[in-house]
Amino acid sequence: MFRSRRYRVDNEQLVLVLTVLLVLAVIVLSSAVTFCASGIFIILMFALSAWTTRAHHQSLLRNAHALNPVQMPKLAAEVEECSLKLQPGPVELFIAREKQLNAYTFGISDPKVLVLYSPMLQVMTSDELRFIIGHEMGHVALGHTWLNTILGGMAGIPAPFGAAVLLYAAFRWWNRMCEFSSDRAGLLACGDLNTAISAMVKLVAPEVRNQVEFDKAFAMIDAQDDTMSNRVAEIFQTHPMLIRRINKLREYVRTQEYQYMQAGVNRNVGQPKPVKVIHDPAAIAPEKQDDKPEKPQKPPEERWPWLKPKE
Ligand SMILES: [Zn+2]
């Protein structure tokens, strides 16, 4: 049988090799360009974020007021205690006149800024405020404020739709881990699990007035992770479901590690060792205040509709 392949033209194989080399070169070059462009993008995002942070700081200086120890000695003492316990580094506290119940922190350079919305001061007891302030100081101490800026820039890199969704979800996942860490800082600052839980419940259900209302709000929070839609929605949220945050703290207080940490931060303010804290819902609900006449209000499920589990 005659099977010669000598009809192949001279340059066919040479061109094949050159083509493959060219494809490889393009792959290497384009990934290098993407890599550099990503680097430039991250730097640009960081610069943009630094600029918006400055602008935010300046608007705060106009619209919020810095904590004045003479006018608010009690709050200043709470902040001082949290700061001594957690050692977050230089932090400036501002009180913003807003309607919502919120607190947050930001800043790339020192001092980091901690903002408390004014209703916090009415709704939270001073122990609960220590949890809130400690939580925010935890974000500062663990570097979340500036990491958020860098990682947020990275997650925002222009990418094909699927990859962009994946990057965004990964960034949110990290955000939620940061919340768990900062909750621990809040717990260490207030030193009491029940206080931490009542502060968290009040964040979503302010004005709980008695045990019955507290139990009702807690049951609604407890049901949040029962639905598939809530679990899916959580993937793209910065904060974990409240019941998960509460459960994480309940697990944490049972560990040796917590005892060690609590004893350590307490030493910073000359407090005795902590006693073992067991979650006790009955110890959380606020005392009924007899001096204020209770005005009739809607039932809890109508006052906090966002706590209702979604179908
Ligand atoms: Zn937080």
Range scoring the smallest mean pLDDT among 174-178, 246-250, 254-258, 303-307: 303-307
Distance from Cα 234 to the centre of ligand 1, integer Å = 15
Could you give the 3-state DSSP secondary structure of residue 292?
coil
Distance from Cα 151 to the centre of ligand 1, integer Å = 16
Distance from Cα 133 to the centre of ligand 1, integer Å = 10
Q: What is the rounded average pLDDT of the residues 140-145? A: 90
Distance from Cα 105 to the centre of ligand 1, integer Å = 8
Residue 222 lies in a domain: yes
Residue 1 lies in a domain: no
Q: 196-221: per-residue pLDDT in tens? A: 998 998 888 887 777 888 888 888 88
Residue 147 lies in a domain: yes
Distance from Cα 16 to the centre of ligand 1, integer Å = 58
What are the percentages of helix, strand and coil residues in the chain, rounded to 5? 65, 5, 30
Residue 76 lies in a domain: yes
Kindly state the helix (H) or strand (E) to which residue 35 belongs, with its residue range.
helix 12-63
Residue 4 lies in a domain: no
Distance from Cα 176 to the centre of ligand 1, integer Å = 8
Would you place residue 284 in the very low, low, confident or very high pLDDT band (cuts 50, 70, 90)?
low
Residue 238 lies in a domain: yes
Distance from Cα 4 to the centre of ligand 1, integer Å = 75
Question: What domain range includes position 211?
Answer: 15-288+295-307
Residue 240 lies in a domain: yes
Residue 10 lies in a domain: no
Length of the chain: 311
Distance from Cα 302 to the centre of ligand 1, integer Å = 27
| 129 has a pLDDT exceeding 80 | yes
CB neighbours of 273 closer than 8 A, spacing ≥ 6?
A: 259, 262, 263, 266
Kindly state the helix (H) or strand (E) to which residue 93 belongs, with its residue range.
strand 91-96
Distance from Cα 140 to the centre of ligand 1, integer Å = 10
What's the CA dihedral at 270, 271, 274, 275 to 10 degrees? 140
The total number of structural domains that make up the chain: 1
What's the CA dihedral at 231, 182, 64, 95 to 10 degrees? 110
Q: 5-57: per-residue pLDDT in tens? A: 888 888 888 898 999 999 999 999 888 888 888 888 878 877 887 788 778 77
Q: What is the pLDDT of residue 232?
A: 81
- C-alpha 223/C-alpha 220 separation (Å) is 5
Q: What is the pLDDT of residue 285?
A: 54
- C-alpha 43/C-alpha 52 separation (Å) is 14
